[in-house]
Amino acid sequence: MNRLTASIAASGFACFALLYTPQPVMPQIAQEYGLGPSGASLALSAATLALAAAVVPIAMLSERTGRRAVIVVSVLTAALLGLVLPFAPNYELFLLLRVLQGIAAAGVPAASMAYLADELDSRRLGAAVGAMIAGNSLGGMSGRMVTGMTADWLGWRGSVLLAGVFGLVAALVVVFFLPRAHGRPKRAPRGMKAALTDPVLLSLYAVAVLLVGSFISFYNVAGFQLTGPAWLETLVFLFYGFGSTSAAFAGRLADRHGRGRVLLLCIGVLALGALASLLWVPLGLAIVTAGFFAAHATASGWVAARTPEHARGHASGLYLCGFYVGSSVGGTSGSTAYEEWGWSGLVLVILGWLLLAAMLAQNSRARVMRESRGEIAVVPSRGSSSAPDSMPTVTERVSAGISTTTANGSGPPS
């Protein structure tokens, strides 16, 4: 892993550690403020929904100011807010600070994927995106582990403060080691149009909503389903280590065997984990975690590879908007389903979401194959200075096994 990839992974580590620290202490937050699972889930959803609203505007801003500056400012601001958060005197102010933290953190996911796509060629992109998602999963695991393992001794406020310190350390790594970009992002007035008119990209945005909603729903209610001390229940977050490994592996696998095929496989693993949780919740969570991070690495890599250069910031922003809409709306919806119908009802709801995600992924894969056979015309996107870069499906033609050369070299099979 080179300096660029390691720094981006560190930014994801800090962002996810700060974003998800309240999750393992939701039962304590609910007890202090007299809330149910759905009310306590707002401690997470407030930040992720704010991030979802901010990620597209910030992604567009990164096209003008440069992606590195956005990443550095965002990760530092989110870390400093993490140090203030535990001193909020009431739940309303706590939620307001979480909203601000979500907005601040939005710059990291908004710019990171496009930053990698700008700096790396297509042959190394999948592995780098996999490393980025691995950093995300390790950050999510670490932030949750710090709060969950220390809450019984420090209280939930003290544990959240400690997690904020860890986030600040990771943020400083990004500040000092993230390399300067080789060039400024290329902008075009029709970048958003290109990101919104490709059916494959639209399907991938929807897949992000469904996958992350399924994943977060499980972890939002795990603390209510499992019994025992907070530190013992928190051990389930060690499963994020599986996510780190599976994300890096899936990125490399997608480079070799195709993103569409690998994405369907990952969704199948998620469904298997959901069913396994009916037998034993920890086993199901382990499988779900591995499947989710592998699916996220594959889908986000597909977005980066398919999007024309002038629309990368817009497309990554829209994908991540879907990701965090799923985290907030889907996570709270799943928590409500658990309140109404218990764990079995939640599993049934999530299986429905995963079935829809699989249908969208298969339709996207089939469309790419039809494009490669010439059954669907490929229309160049306007606003790009170079013909190859202006065609969203060029990389995916390579993905379908057609020997096509682009300005960035040949892409992987899909």
Decide if 293 is inside a domain: yes
* Distance from chain centroid for Cα 38: 22
pLDDT at 230: 60
Decide if 339 is inside a domain: yes
Per-residue pLDDT tens digits for 322-379: 888 888 888 889 988 998 999 999 999 999 999 999 999 999 999 988 888 777 755 4
Q: Are 159 and 148 in contact (CB under 8 A)?
A: yes
Close Cβ partners of 237 (under 8 Å, ≥ 6 residues apart):
24, 140, 141, 144, 145, 148, 219
User: What CATH number corresponds to the domain at position 166?
Assistant: 1.20.1250.20
- Nearest-CA neighbor of 79 among 34, 143, 8? 143
pLDDT at 146: 87
pLDDT at 69: 87
Decide if 358 is inside a domain: yes
Range 15-27 average pLDDT: 86
Close Cβ partners of 34 (under 8 Å, ≥ 6 residues apart):
none
Q: How many domains does the chain have?
A: 1
399: pLDDT strictly greater than 70: no
Q: Is 241 helix (H, G, I), strand (E, B) or coil?
A: helix
Decide if 183 is inside a domain: no
Give the chain's count of helices (H) and strands (E): 17, 0
CA torsion 120-126-129-135 (nearest 10°) is: -120
- Nearest-CA neighbor of 171 among 61, 82, 60? 82
Q: Kindly state the tokens that stand for 143.
A: 């932030």
- Phi, psi torsion values for 258, nearest 5 degrees: 105, 135
Decide if 384 is inside a domain: yes
The boundaries of the domain holding residue 8 are 3-178+190-399
Decide if 9 is inside a domain: yes
Bigger pLDDT: 271 vs 8: 271
Decide if 408 is inside a domain: no
Decide if 406 is inside a domain: no
Q: Kindly state the tokens that stand for 356.
A: 């829809």
